[in-house]
Structure 1
Amino acid sequence: MTSGKHLRAAISTPDVRRIVAVTSFLLIAVLVVVGIFVLRNREIETKPWFAGYVDVTLAPPLAFETPTSAHTKNVLLSFIVADPANPCEPHWGTHYSLDQAGTLLDLDAKIAKLRKNGGRAAISFGGAASTELATSCIDLPSLQNAYQRVIDRYEVSTVDFDIEGDNLQDSVAGARRAQAVAQIQKDRADRGKPLDVWLTLPVSPRGLTDEGVAEIEQMLSEGVDLAGVNIMTMNYGASRIAGQSMLQASEAAAVAAHSQLGIIYQRAGLGLDDAAVWAKIGLTPMIGTNEITADVFTVQDATQFAEFAQSKNVGRMSQWSNNRDIQCATATLNPVIAPHTCSGVTQDNGVFSNILGEPFTDRFK
Structure 2
Amino acid sequence: MSKRFPGRRLSPVRLTILLAVVAALATAGVLGMRTWEDTQQAERSQPWFGAYVDVTATPVHAFENPTGPADRNVVLGFVVAADPTTCEASWGTFHSLEEARDDLDLDRRIARLRQSGGDVVVSFGGEASTELALACPTVDDLAAQYGAVVERYRPAAIDLDVEGPALADAASRTRRAEAVARVQEEHDGPLPVWLTLPVGADGLTPDGVATVRAFLDAGVVLAGVNAMTMNLTGAAAAADPAGTAVQALRATHRQLMAILADRGEPVMDRTAWRMVGATPMIGQNDTPTEVVTLDDARRLHAFATEVQLGRVSMWSANRDRTCAPAYDDLSVVSDSCSGVEQGDERFADVLGAGFTGAPDGGSPQPTSTPTVHPEDLTDDPATSPYPVWTAEASYPADTRVVWRRNVYVAAWWTQGAQPDDPSLAPADNPWRLIGPVLPGETPRPQLRLPADFYPTWDPAAVYQAGERVLLDDVAYEARWWTQGDSPAAGQADPGASPWRVLTQEEIAALLGG
TM range (shorter): 0.7 to 0.9
Larger Rg: 2
Shift of 1:39: 9.8
Q: Would you tell me which structure has more helix in proportion to its own residues?
A: 1
Match of 1:204 in 2: 200
- Residues 11-59 of structure 1: CA deviation (Å, up to 9, x unaligned): xxxxxxxxxxxxxxxxxxxxxxx99xx6997277311000000000001
Tell me: CA distance 1:55–1:345, structure 2 relative to 1, closer, same or farther (3 Å).
same
Match of 1:310 in 2: 305
- Residues 69-101 of structure 1: CA deviation (Å, up to 9, x unaligned): 111121000000001175210000011100111
Match of 1:21 in 2: none
Match of 2:119 in 1: 120
Percent identical among aligned pairs is 42
Do structure 1's residue 224 and structure 2's residue 220 form an aligned pair? yes
SS at match of 1:216: helix
Match of 1:168 in 2: 167
Moved over 2 A (4+): 38-45, 240-244, 330-334, 362-365
Match of 1:75 in 2: 74
Tell me: CA distance 1:228–1:49, structure 2 relative to 1, closer, same or farther (3 Å).
same
Tell me: CA distance 1:184–1:41, structure 2 relative to 1, closer, same or farther (3 Å).
farther
Match of 1:7 in 2: none
Match of 1:276 in 2: 271
**Is contact 2:39-2:270 (8 Å) kept?**
no
Q: Which amino acid in the other structure matches residue 120 of structure 1?
A: D
SS at match of 2:247: helix
Do structure 1's residue 328 and structure 2's residue 323 form an aligned pair? yes
**Is contact 2:225-2:275 (8 Å) kept?**
yes
Shift of 1:224: 0.6
Q: Distance in 2 between matches of 1:123 and 1:170?
A: 22
Match of 2:13 in 1: none
Match of 1:215 in 2: 211
Q: Distance in 1 between matches of 2:304 and 2:337?
A: 24
Do structure 1's residue 287 and structure 2's residue 286 form an aligned pair? no
CA RMSD of aligned residues (A): 2.1
Shift of 1:333: 5.5
Do structure 1's residue 358 and structure 2's residue 357 form an aligned pair? no
Tell me: CA distance 1:336–1:139, structure 2 relative to 1, closer, same or farther (3 Å).
same
- Residues 161-213 of structure 1: CA deviation (Å, up to 9, x unaligned): 0000111011110100000111111122xx4x110000000011111100000
| Matched positions, count | 327
**1:34-183 to 2 correspondences below 5 Å:** 42=41, 45-84=44-83, 87-183=86-182
**Is contact 2:74-2:119 (8 Å) kept?**
yes
Tell me: CA distance 1:257–1:348, structure 2 relative to 1, closer, same or farther (3 Å).
same
Do structure 1's residue 259 and structure 2's residue 254 form an aligned pair? yes
Tell me: CA distance 1:226–1:97, structure 2 relative to 1, closer, same or farther (3 Å).
same
- Residues 143-165 of structure 1: CA deviation (Å, up to 9, x unaligned): 10100000010111300000001
Compare relative contact order (CA 8 Å, sep 6+) and give the higher one, 1 or 2.
Answer: 1
**Is contact 2:161-2:195 (8 Å) kept?**
yes
- Residues 321-342 of structure 1: CA deviation (Å, up to 9, x unaligned): 0000011012436623111100
**Is contact 1:279-1:315 (8 Å) kept?**
yes
Tell me: CA distance 1:333–1:256, structure 2 relative to 1, closer, same or farther (3 Å).
farther
SS at match of 2:256: helix
Do structure 1's residue 343 and structure 2's residue 343 form an aligned pair? no
Q: Which amino acid in the other structure matches residue 179 of structure 2?
A: A
Tell me: CA distance 1:85–1:204, structure 2 relative to 1, closer, same or farther (3 Å).
closer
Q: Distance in 1 between matches of 2:224 and 2:210?
A: 15
- Residues 97-121 of structure 1: CA deviation (Å, up to 9, x unaligned): 0011100111111111111122111
Tell me: CA distance 1:60–1:151, structure 2 relative to 1, closer, same or farther (3 Å).
same
Q: Which amino acid in the other structure matches residue 122 of structure 1?
A: V
Q: Which amino acid in the other structure matches residue 199 of structure 2?
A: V
Tell me: CA distance 1:274–1:44, structure 2 relative to 1, closer, same or farther (3 Å).
same
**Is contact 2:275-2:309 (8 Å) kept?**
yes
The TM-score with structure 2 as length reference comes to 0.61
Greater shift after overlay, 193-202 or 42-51?
A: 42-51
Tell me: CA distance 1:177–1:41, structure 2 relative to 1, closer, same or farther (3 Å).
farther
**Is contact 1:202-1:232 (8 Å) kept?**
yes
**Is contact 1:47-1:361 (8 Å) kept?**
yes
Q: Distance in 1 between matches of 2:222 and 2:339?
A: 34
Q: Which amino acid in the other structure matches residue 80 of structure 1?
A: V
SS at match of 1:195: coil
Shift of 1:243: 7.2
Tell me: CA distance 1:334–1:70, structure 2 relative to 1, closer, same or farther (3 Å).
farther
List runs of 5+ in structure 1 lacking aligned partners: 1-33
Q: Distance in 1 between matches of 2:42 and 2:246?
A: 26
- Residues 123-148 of structure 1: CA deviation (Å, up to 9, x unaligned): 00000011111111012111101000
**Is contact 2:122-2:157 (8 Å) kept?**
yes
List runs of 5+ in structure 2 lacking aligned partners: 1-32, 361-513
